Structure 1
Amino acid sequence: MDIRSNPGEDAELCLEVAGPEKEIFFDPENTKAAILTCGGLCPGLNDVIRGIVYFLDDWYSVNDVIGIRYGYNGLSSNPFSPPVQLTKEYVSDIHMSGGTILGSSRGNPPVSLMVDNLLNMGIDMLFCVGGDGTLRGAHEIAKEIIKRNLNISVIGIPKTIDNDVPFVYRSFGFRTAVAMARDALECAHIEAKGAFNGVGIVKIMGREAGFLTARSVCASGDVDYCLIPEMEFPLHGKGGLLEHLRRHLKKHGHHALIAVAEGAGRHLIGDTGEKDASGNVRFNDIGKFLKDEISKAFDSWNEVVNVKYIDPSYLVRSIPANSEDNIYCADLARYAIDAAMSGKTDMMIGYWHGTFVNIPFGAIGSKKRMTGDCKLWMAVLSSTEQPIDWW
C-alpha cells in the first residue's frame, strides 16, 4: 500500500499486517516477559498492561510477567523501586483506574546497562509503552541486543495523547482525551456566556501537533478560535486575533471561546530555555499569555472584557479510558504479544488504513503534523469563526 507519513513525502512502504504466526519462537513454559511505561500519563495505560498479562496467559500460556517500575529507570543500576510480579489477579481491575500501576518517568539510563539488567533478570521479551522518546529508547535497546546476538524481543506500543506518532492513525486514549477536553470547553463556554464580553480560554495538550485540540473543537461545536502549533497566527493588527476577537464580541452576543494547544504561539512567546529529563523544551504558558494580551488590548480600547482561563491538561490525561479505547488497548496488547512470541523485535504496533501493522522502529521517522489543507482542519474552519488565511 502507498504510505505517506507526512504530506509531500513520496516514500512507499510495504507494511506487514500484525497478527499471530503459524510458529512461535519462544517456549511458553520458559519465557519471561517484562512491561514498562514511560513519559506522560495517558488514558488506557493500565488497559494495555492488563491486556498484555491476560493475553500472554490466555493465548500463549506465558505466566511469568514482571512490571518494570517507573519506566527505563527501572532498568538502571539504582532503580526507584524493584520490579513487581504481574498476575491476572494482580491486574484484574486496574483498567478501571487512570494512570499506570507501574509508574512512569522520563530519561534513559545507558543502553548497555539496561541490556545487562534485562539479562540479569532473565527477560525474553520487553514491551515498551510510550511516546517517541520511549520508542527511540526501545530502538536503541533492540540494536544493542542484536549487536550482542541475544534472543530478547523488544516491542513498542505507541502512546501519545498528542496523536502524533507516524503510522498510528489514532493513539490509544486519544478519543477519551477528546471527550474530556470537550467537557472543559463546554465549561469555559458557559463561563464566557455568563459575563458581558466574556472570553473563555482552554489550553489543551499538544506540544508540536494540534490533533487533540482540533478534534476537541470539532466535538464541541461552540469554539470560535482554534490555535495550534502548526499555525503561526497573527496577534496584533487589523487581521490579528485581538482585533478579530473585538469584532466578534460586538457581532456575536458578546462572548467567545478560544481553544489553544500548549505548543501554539511559540512565534510570539518563545520557550523557557529549560528542558525536562527527556530533553523536551519547556514551553511558556500560551494560555496565560493570551489572557494577559486580551486584557491589555481591551483596556487600551477602554472596553470591558472578562477573560476566564482553564487549563485541564492533567485532568484530560489522567482519567480511565472509555469503552472504545478499552477495546483498542486490548487489540494493541494482543498484536504486540503475537509479534513478540513469533520472535519479531525492534518494532512497534501501528494502526494504518484501518489495519494493525508491524512497524520497524527505523521506519518511524518524524512526527505527524496537521496541514492547512487536511480534512480535519477543514472541519475546524467550518466549525469556528476564525479567518482562513491565518494558516
Structure 2
Amino acid sequence: MEELKDSQMKIETGDFGYILEDVPHLTDYVANLNTYPNPLRFNPAYSVVKQYFVDCDDTVPEKVIVHKNDPRGVHFRRAGPRQNVYFSPDEVHACVVTCGGLCPGLNTVIREIVGALYHMYGVTRVLGIDGGYRGFYSKNTITLTPKVVNDIHKRGGTILGSSRGGHDKSKIVDSIQDRGINQVYIIGGDGTQKGAAVIYEEIKRRGLKVVVAGIPKTIDNDIAVIDKSFGFDTAVEEAQRAINAAHVEAESAENGIGVVKLMGRYSGFIAMYATLASRDVDLCLIPESPFFLEGEGGLLEYVEKRLKENGHMVIVVAEGAGQELLAQSNSNPAKDASGNRLLKDVGMWLSDRIKAHFASMKHMPITLKYIDPTYMIRAVPSNASDNIYCTLLAQSCVHGAMAGFTGFISGLVHGRQTYIPFSRIVDHQNHVVITDRMWARVLSSTNQPSFLGPKELIEFKQLEEPQTQLLDGENTSSSGKK
C-alpha cells in the first residue's frame, strides 16, 4: 500500500502556504497527447454561464477551521470542466461498473454519467459492465444510452448488477484493452476503490491512454476525507421509518421495547443521525462506543431504569456495535469476497440477552420487538437530496476524465466538488468521534450514559484525535480532517 500511495500521490508546495495533494494525469506517463477545446465552450446552455469553467489553480482546502498560527494545510484540486480536454468525443469509449453491496442512488449515478457523456460532451459509446469487476472477464455488457437509462433513477439497486471481489488486475486491464475502452468509471466502496487503484497502476505501467475514475459508494458513510457518501441521506430517512415502527410497538405494550438494527459495520453514522432525526430513541449503540451489559452502570441496568420511568423504550444498534461481546472467534474470523469481516447479528443477540435478563426478574415482564430493515433500506431508490448529490458526483467525474485526470475519485469536501487521489480514501475509514460534539448531541437527545468512565474517555480522546469528520463540519482535528 505504501508503494501504491507514493506512486499515486502528487504533492506540490508553492508560495501559497498550502500543500496541493494532486491527482495523477495522463500526461504523467503518456507522451505527446493532443488537447481539444472543450465542447461545452460551444454549447449555448453552458457558454452563457459566467465562470462555468474551473481555473487550473482552483483548490479546495481539507481543513477550514484553523488556529491563527497553523499552516493552511492540504488542499485538493477543485472538480469541474476545464477549457481544454484530452479526448475528442468520437474517440471516447467509456464503461461503467458497480461493485459491492447495494446502496440508494446507484442507478442515478449511472444515469448521470451516461447523460453527462452524451449531452455535455457528445460521447456516444458507453458500455455497462454486468456484475461488478467479474463482468470484465465475461462478454456480458449493456449498451448504455440516454434512452436506456432515462427512468432507472426511479428504481432501487443497479441495472448493471453488482458483486464483491474479483480484483484480478491483469484480466481486467486485458479486457479494457481488448474492448478499446479508454474511460473507466468505477462506483463502489473502499474495497472497490482499492481495486480501482490497482487497476490504475497496471494501466499506468502499460502506458495506456485510459482514465480510471471512481465515485465512492458506501451506505455506512465510512469513506474518509469526503463530507458524506451518496445514499446516506436516504438511508437515514428510511431508518426513521423502522424506528417509528419500533416506537409504536413499544409504546403499545406494557414495558415494551423496540430494538432496531441499522447498517454500520465499523462506523455508526446511520444509527447516530437516525437517532437524532427521530427523537424517539432512548439508547443508541455504535461500534465506536463500547458498552457492557452486566453490573452497575451496565446496559441492562439502564434498560430496567428507563422502563420503570417511561414504561417503554426504543434501542437503535449499529450492526458492528458490541461485536467484542459476542461469542465469536477473533483468531480467524470469516470474511466475505471483499475482505470484510462477517459480523454476527448483534440485534438478535442483544434482544435475547435483554429477554433473558427480564425473564429472571419475574416481577417485570416485557414485550420486545426486533426490527432489521437493512435490506429494505439498501434497496430503495434515492431521495431528492441524494439524487442531486449523485448528479454532482457523476458530472464532476466525467469532467475530470475528459480533462485527462485519472486515478481519482470525485467527492464533496466542505461543500465543494473535488478530485481526491485513491490513496487518500483507501488508507483508513471514517469514524464517529465519540469525544466530539455530534455524539454529545446524541447523548443529550437519548439521555443515555456513555458507558465509559473518565479513564476510558481520556484513552478514547487520545486514540480518536487524528480521526475523521463529523457531517456538521464543527470538528477539526490535528490531522486537518473535519
TM class, shorter-length: over 0.9
- Cα deviation for residue 378 of structure 1 reads 1.7
Q: Which residue of 2 aligns with 1:295?
A: 355
Q: 1:218 aligns to what?
A: 276
Please list, as runs of the form range in 1=range in 2, the aligned pairs for 1:371-386 lying within 5 A after superposition: 371-386=433-448
2:76 maps to 1:18: no
Whether the 8 Å CA contact 1:36–1:127 is kept in 2: the answer is yes
Which one-letter code corresponds to 1:3 in the other structure?
A: E
* Partner Cα separation in structure 2 for residue 75 and residue 282 of structure 1: 26
Shift of 1:374: 2.4
1:362 is displaced (CA, Å) by 1.5
Residue 341 of structure 1, aligned match among 396, 399, 402: 402
- Find the aligned partners of 1:388 and 1:311 in 2 and give their Cα distance: 24
1:41–1:57 CA distance, 2 compared to 1 (3 A) = same
SS state at 1:203 partner: strand
Q: Offset at 1:373?
A: 2.4
| Kept after mapping to 2: 8 A contact 1:225/1:257 | yes
Q: Retained in 2: the 8 A contact 1:3–1:11? A: no
Aligned partner of 1:202 in structure 2 is 260
Tell me if structure 1 keeps the 8 A contact 2:99–2:192. Answer: yes
Cα displacement (A) at 1:61? 0.3
1:281 is matched with which residue?
341
What's the CA shift for 1:197? 0.6
CA distance in 1, matches of 2:439, 2:270: 12
Residue 422 of structure 2 is aligned with which of 361, 371, 381?
A: 361
Whichever residue aligns with residue 128 of structure 2, its letter is: G
CA shift for structure 1 position 301: 1.4
Distance (whole Å) between structure 1 residues aligned to residue 72 and residue 337 of structure 2: 33
Aligned to 1:15, the other structure's residue is in SS state strand
**1:259: which partner in 2?**
316
How do residues 51-200 of structure 1 correspond to structure 2 at under 5 angstroms?
A: 51-76=112-137, 79=138, 82-200=140-258
Report if the CA contact (8 A) 1:45-1:100 is conserved.
yes
CA-CA distance at 1:234 after TM superposition: 1.5
Unaligned runs of 5+ in 1: none
**Distance (whole Å) between structure 1 residues aligned to residue 264 and residue 373 of structure 2:** 12
CA distance in 2, matches of 1:182, 1:274: 31
Q: Does the CA-based 8 Å contact 1:224-1:385 persist in structure 2?
A: yes
Tell me what 2:106 maps to. Answer: 45
Give the equivalent residue in structure 2 for 1:244.
302
> Which shifted more, 263-272 or 354-363?
263-272
Three-state SS of the structure 2 residue aligned to 1:307 is strand
In structure 1, the residue matched to 2:475 is none
Q: Distance in 1 between matches of 2:437 and 2:92?
A: 46
Shift of residue 267, structure 1, vs aligned partner:
1.7
Cα distance in 1 for partners of 2:101, 2:188 equals 8
Structure 2: stretches of 5+ with no match in the other structure:
1-59, 65-70, 458-482
Preserved CA contact (<8 Å) 2:290 2:451: no
Q: Root-mean-square deviation (CA), in Å?
A: 1.6
User: Matched residues in 1 for 2:169 and 2:63: separation?
Assistant: 31
CA contact (8 A) 1:192 1:255 kept: yes
Distance 1:356 1:109 in 2: 28
3-state SS of paired residue (1:274): coil
Matching residue within 369, 386, 408 for 1:325: 386
Contact 2:190 2:223 in 1 (8 A): yes
Give the whole-Å Cα distance in 2 for the aligned partners of 1:238 and 1:2.
46
How many angstroms apart in 1 are the aligned matches of 2:124 and 2:416?
28
Q: Which amino acid aligns with 1:269?
A: L
Q: Whose radius of gyration is greater, 1 or 2?
A: 2
Q: Which amino acid aligns with 1:313?
A: T
**Counterpart AA for 1:185:** I
Letter in structure 2 aligned against 1:19 = G
More off after superposition, 201-210 vs 346-355 = 346-355
The SS at the match of 1:190 is helix
1:3 aligns with 2:62: yes
Alpha-carbon spacing, 1:137–1:4, altered in 2? closer, same or farther (3 Å): farther
Partner Cα distance (1:334, 1:340) in 2: 10
Residue aligned with 1:129, SS: strand
CA drift of 1:371 comes to: 1.1
Alignment partners' CA distance in 2, 1:325 and 1:72: 25
| 1:363 CA drift (Å) | 2.0
Cα distance in 1 between the residues matched to 2:413 and 2:247: 35
Identity of aligned residues (%): 45
Query: Which structure is higher in RCO with an 8 Å CA cutoff and minimum separation 6?
Result: 1
